[in-house]
Chain A
C-alpha cells in the first residue's frame, strides 16, 4: 500500500519536474531555433520549427552593419572580463587568507564591515564612484571594472574563500612552518593547490557576472569602439527596426554561448560554490 503510493508519488514528481523543466528551458531552445528561422517565420507561429532554415543570420549579425561588429564587441568583452576575473581571484585569495588564518587588531570589526558591504546597495555608491572615475579620467575605459577588482571589493568572493580556507586543517600550515615556509609560501605552495575548487567557483561566477553586466557597462562605456557584447546587443536591437530579427536572435545566442559553455563545463564548482557559502541569490 505505502509502496504503491510512494511509487505514484515519484511518478507525479517526475512528471512535474519534466514539464516544469521543459517550460524553463523552452525559451532558450526557442531562441536557438528561431535564430535560424527566416524573419517571416519568427512571428505568428506557435510551432517551434519552421519550414526552412537560414544560417546567414549568424554571419550577417556577426559582421554588423556599422563600423564595428560583434567581433570587436567580443574581443572588447574579453579584454574587460579576463583581467577583472584574474584580479578578483588574486586579491580575494590574499584577503581571505588574511582573514581566515591570522589574528590581528580590529579583525572582528573589519570582518563585520565586509559582511555589511554585502548588503550595501550598489545604487547608493554608484554616483560618487562615477564622479570619482570621471576625475581620474577612467570614463570610457575598462578601468572602473578592473581596478576595483584588484582590491577585493566583492565581499561575496572573499567570504566564499574565507569559508573554504577555514575548512582546511591548520596542521598543514603548522607543519609547513616547521619545514621553513613563511606565511606567503604557505599560501602559495600548500594552500593554493587545495583551494582550486573554490578558486574555480570565484573565477566562473565573476566571469559570468562581468560578461553579462549591463548597468555598469552602459554607465562607463560610451564609444561604440569599446562596446561590450551587452552594449552591442542592445545597439543591434535598437538599430534593426523590424528588419533583421533573426540576426538579433543569432547575436543573442552568440553573446551567451561563453557563459553556457562555462556553466556546463564547470557545473560542479558552481553548485558547490554556491551551496558551501550559503550565499548569493
Chain B
C-alpha cells in the first residue's frame, strides 16, 4: 500500500472532481435525504414533521393503491422482461448466422428502442390499439373478433407490455456483441469431435451468453419496475387501475398531492424491492451464469 502511494498522480483527483461534486449533490444527498423524508410528513409548504414509521405502516397496511400498483408492476415486469429478452436473443441468434444484409436488419430492429420512450410512440400505440384502430382492423380482416386492447382491464397491461417488447433492439445489440466474441475455433473443435449443431448451441453458445443474459436481465428489470411514460400517456393507469404502474402511484402522491414524505417512503419501498430482486438474481446466477475465467483457470 505504502509502495503504491508514491505513484499517486494527484492531478487525477482534479479531473474526477466534477463527478465527485455531482455525486454528492445530485445523487448521494438526494439518496440520503429521501430516506430521511420517508419518516416525515412533508407537503413542501410547511417544514417536514417527523412521523416515525407511520408512512411505511400506512403503505403496508392501509393503502389499496399501493397494493394495486405493486400487483400491476409485478405482472408487468414478469411479463415484459422475459418476453423482451427472449425476442432479443432469438433475433440476435438469427442475425449472428453469416447472412447478407445483417446491418440493414439490425438497424430496422434497433430503431424502435431509440424512439420507444417518447411520447410520440405512446401516442402511436394509443392509435394502433384503439377499438376501431389498425390492429383490430387487421385482425378483423383475418376474421378474428375485435379486442378492446386498451379498454379491457384484463388486456390493457399486456398491450403496454407489447410496447416494451417492441423495444427489444438494445438488448439484441448486446447479445449480438456477445455472440461475436465467442471464438470460432470453439465451434470448429466441437464439430471435429462430432457434436451436432444443436449440441454446439447448448454447450457453447448458451453458456457463453449467460453473462450477457444476466446483465440484460438486471438492467431491463430495473427499468421495467420504473416504467412510466407509456402507462401515463396511453392509459393513465386505467381502465379500473389495471395499468396503474408503481411509477404512476409515485408520481401521483408526489406531484399531484405533494405528499413528499409519503412518496419518499414509497420510493424506498420500491428501492428495497428492486435491490432484493437484484440480489436474488445475482445469487441465482452462480447456478446458471458461466464465467469464462472459471473455466480457463488463468
A residues apposed to B, CB below 8 Å: 10, 13-14, 16-17, 20-21, 24-25, 27-28, 30-31, 34, 42-47, 91, 94-95, 97-99, 101-105, 107, 110, 113-114, 117, 119-132, 134, 148, 150-153, 158, 183, 208-209, 211-215, 218-219, 229-231, 233-234, 237, 245, 248-249, 252-253, 255-256, 259-260, 263-264, 267, 270-271, 274-276, 278-281
A residues near B124, Cβ cutoff 8 Å: 27-28, 30-31, 249, 252
5 A-B contact pairs sorted by A residue (CB < 8 Å): A46-B141, A98-B13, A103-B9, A125-B27, A211-B118
| Contact of B176 with A17 in the complex, beta carbons under 8 Å | no
Task: Report the bound CA distance from A95 to B268 in whole Å.
Answer: 30
Beyond A43-B133, A104-B13, list 7 extra A-B contacts (CB 8 Å). A10-B99, A13-B97, A25-B111, A91-B19, A95-B15, A102-B13, A120-B27
Task: Report if B288 contacts A (CB, 8 A).
Answer: no
Partner of B110, one of A152, A212, A271, A276: A271
| Contact of A281 with B223 in the complex, beta carbons under 8 Å | yes
| A44, closest chain B residue (CB) | B132
| Contact of A101 with B222 in the complex, beta carbons under 8 Å | no
| Contact of B114 with A263 in the complex, beta carbons under 8 Å | yes
Task: Report the bound CA distance from A47 to B138 in whole Å.
Answer: 8
B residues near A44, Cβ cutoff 8 Å: 132, 137
Task: Report the bound CA distance from A46 to B132 in whole Å.
Answer: 9
- Number of residues of chain B lying within 8 A (CB) of chain A: 99
Within 8 A of A (CB), among B240-298: 247, 250-251, 254-255, 260, 263-264, 267-268, 270-271, 274, 278
| A18, closest chain B residue (CB) | B105
| Contact of A20 with B247 in the complex, beta carbons under 8 Å | no
A residues near B44, Cβ cutoff 8 Å: 131, 134
Give 1 or 0 for each of B98-140: 1 = CB within 8 Å of chain A CB: 0100000111111110110111110111111010111001101
| B230, closest chain A residue (CB) | A214
Q: Number of contacts between A and B (CB, 8 Å)?
A: 282
| A213, closest chain B residue (CB) | B117
| B180, closest chain A residue (CB) | A275
Task: Report the bound CA distance from A254 to B90 in whole Å.
Answer: 33
| Contact of A125 with B229 in the complex, beta carbons under 8 Å | no
Partner of B118, one of A151, A214, A248: A214
Partner of B21, one of A47, A128, A151: A151
Q: A35 to nearest B CB, angstroms?
A: 10
B residues near A103, Cβ cutoff 8 Å: 4, 7-9, 12
Knowing A25-B111, A281-B216, A281-B223, the reply to whether A104 touches B10 (Cβ < 8 A) is yes
Partner of B119, one of A30, A45, A122, A234: A234
Task: Report if B20 contacts A (CB, 8 A).
Answer: yes
| B87, closest chain A residue (CB) | A20
A residues near B13, Cβ cutoff 8 Å: 98, 102, 104-105
Q: A127 to nearest B CB, angstroms?
A: 5
Task: Report if B94 contacts A (CB, 8 A).
Answer: yes
| Contact of A114 with B19 in the complex, beta carbons under 8 Å | yes
Task: Report the bound CA distance from A97 to B33 in whole Å.
Answer: 31
Knowing A127-B263, A281-B223, the reply to whether A256 touches B30 (Cβ < 8 A) is no
B residues near A248, Cβ cutoff 8 Å: 123
| A98, closest chain B residue (CB) | B15
Task: Report the bound CA distance from A125 to B11 in whole Å.
Answer: 31
8 smallest beta-carbon distances between A and B, as pairs: A102-B12, A151-B22, A98-B15, A46-B137, A275-B177, A128-B30, A125-B30, A252-B120
Task: Report if B68 contacts A (CB, 8 A).
Answer: no
Task: Report the bound CA distance from A113 to B108 in whole Å.
Answer: 36
Task: Report if B95 contacts A (CB, 8 A).
Answer: yes
| Contact of A105 with B27 in the complex, beta carbons under 8 Å | no
Task: Report the bound CA distance from A60 to B118 in whole Å.
Answer: 22
| A101, closest chain B residue (CB) | B12
Task: Report the bound CA distance from A260 to B114 in whole Å.
Answer: 8
Task: Report the bound CA distance from A248 to B23 in whole Å.
Answer: 40
Give 1 or 0 for each of B72-107: 1 = CB within 8 Å of chain A CB: 000000000000000000010011010100000111
Q: B74 to nearest A CB, angstroms?
A: 16
| Contact of A102 with B15 in the complex, beta carbons under 8 Å | yes
| B271, closest chain A residue (CB) | A124
Task: Report the bound CA distance from A152 to B4 in whole Å.
Answer: 28
Task: Report the bound CA distance from A6 to B251 in whole Å.
Answer: 53
| A234, closest chain B residue (CB) | B119
B residues near A255, Cβ cutoff 8 Å: 118-120
| A208, closest chain B residue (CB) | B114
Knowing A46-B140, A102-B12, A267-B107, the reply to whether A13 touches B99 (Cβ < 8 A) is yes
| Contact of A132 with B30 in the complex, beta carbons under 8 Å | yes
| Contact of B18 with A95 in the complex, beta carbons under 8 Å | yes
Task: Report if B205 contacts A (CB, 8 A).
Answer: no
User: Which of B52-60, B150-158, B167-175 forms part of the interface with chain A?
Assistant: B167-175
Q: B28 to nearest A CB, angstroms?
A: 9
